[in-house]
C-alpha cells in the first residue's frame, strides 16, 4: 500500500505518519510528499526521512483545475493507492476527487460536523463547549465534509488556554491519523 501525503505547512502530522510503527507493521509505505509552499517545514521533514518531495506552487497556475491536473501528474509517478491530506491548505477540485475516489483522507482538529473550517480549535475554544476532538474523514467536494473514518474526543478543561488545548489536540491527531490510515489500508 503506497501512501502519498499532501501538506502545506509544519507537517507534524506528516512526521507522525513517518514515525508510526503502525504503518510499518501494515506495510504502508509513504511514497511521496506533495507540498504547494516552497520553504515549508514539512519539506525538511521529508528530506530527513528520505521521502521523495514534489513541489508546485498553486500561484503559478491560472485555475484550481489546472493546478490540480499538474499535481495529479506529479503524484501519478509515485503510484499512490491512498492519499492523506495533512494540513494541506487547498480545496481539491472535482478532477482530483474523481482520480482517487474514496481514497483521499483528511484530518481535522474538531469533532465534525462541529467546527469545520480553518479555525476549528479556536472556534471550539471560543464556543466554550465541554469537549472537542479530532476527525479523520474521506474527502468529498465540501469543506471538512465526507464520511467519517475515525474520531476521538478531547475534553476542554476549565484551566485550558487556547495553546494548551491546541497542544492536546495535536497530540491526539498524531495518534489518530496513523490508525485511520491503517484502517483504510486494510479496507483495500
Binders of ligand GRF among residues 133 to 172 (CB under 6 A) are: none
d(CA 22, CA 176): 11
Stretch touching ligand GRF by CB under 6 A, among 11-19, 27-35, 49-57, 70-78 = 11-19
d(CA 90, CA 147): 19
- Find the binder of ligand GRF among 80, 87, 133, 178 (CB under 6 A): 87
Interaction of residue 86 with ligand GRF, rule CB under 6 A: yes
Could you give the count of Cα atoms lying within 13 Å of 120 in the half-sphere of its Cβ? 23
Judge whether 108 counts as a catalytic residue.
yes
- Find the binder of ligand GRF among 5, 105, 109, 156 (CB under 6 A): 109
Which one is catalytic: 78, 108, 137, 174? 108
The dihedral formed by the CA atoms of 152, 158, 163 and 165, expressed in degrees to the nearest 10: 0
Shortest gap between Cβ of 145 and ligand GRF (angstroms)? 14
Give 153's strand partners.
133
DSSP 143-179: SS-S-EEEEEEEEPPTT--HHHHHHHHHHHHHHHHHH
Residues in the chain: 188
Interaction of residue 36 with ligand GRF, rule CB under 6 A: no
Shortest gap between Cβ of 188 and ligand GRF (angstroms)? 25
Q: Which spans of this chain sit near ligand GRF (rule: CB under 6 A)?
A: 7, 9-13, 86-87, 107-109, 173
Amino acid at each position: 500500500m503506497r501512501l502519498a501525503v499532501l501538506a502545506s505547512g509544519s507537517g507534524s502530522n506528516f512526521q507522525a505518519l513517518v514515525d508510526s510503527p503502525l504503518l510499518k507493521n501494515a506495510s504502508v509505505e509513504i511514497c511521496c510528499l506533495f507540498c504547494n509552499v516552497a520553504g515549508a517545514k514539512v519539506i525538511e521533514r521529508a528530506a530527513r526521512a528520505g521521502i521523495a518531495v514534489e513541489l508546485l506552487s498553486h500561484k503559478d497556475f491560472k485555475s484550481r483545475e489546472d493546478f490540480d491536473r499538474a499535481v495529479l501528474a506529479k503524484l501519478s509517478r509515485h503510484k499512490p493507492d491512498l492519499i492523506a491530506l495533512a494540513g494541506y491548505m487547498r480545496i481539491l477540485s472535482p478532477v482530483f476527487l474523481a482520480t482517487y475516489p474514496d481514497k483521499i483522507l483528511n484530518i481535522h482538529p474538531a469533532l465534525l460536523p462541529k467546527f469545520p473550517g480553518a479555525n476549528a480549535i479556536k472556534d471550539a475554544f471560543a464556543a466554550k463547549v465541554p469537549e472537542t476532538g479530532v476527525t479523520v474523514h474521506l474527502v468529498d467536494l465540501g469543506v471538512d465534509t465526507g464520511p467519517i473514518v475515525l474520531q476521538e474526543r478531547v475534553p476542554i478543561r476549565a484551566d485550558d488556554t487556547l495553546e494548551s488545548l491546541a497542544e492536546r489536540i495535536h497530540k491526539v491527531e498524531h495518534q489518530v491519523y496513523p490508525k485511520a490510515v491503517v484502517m483504510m489500508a486494510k479496507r483495500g
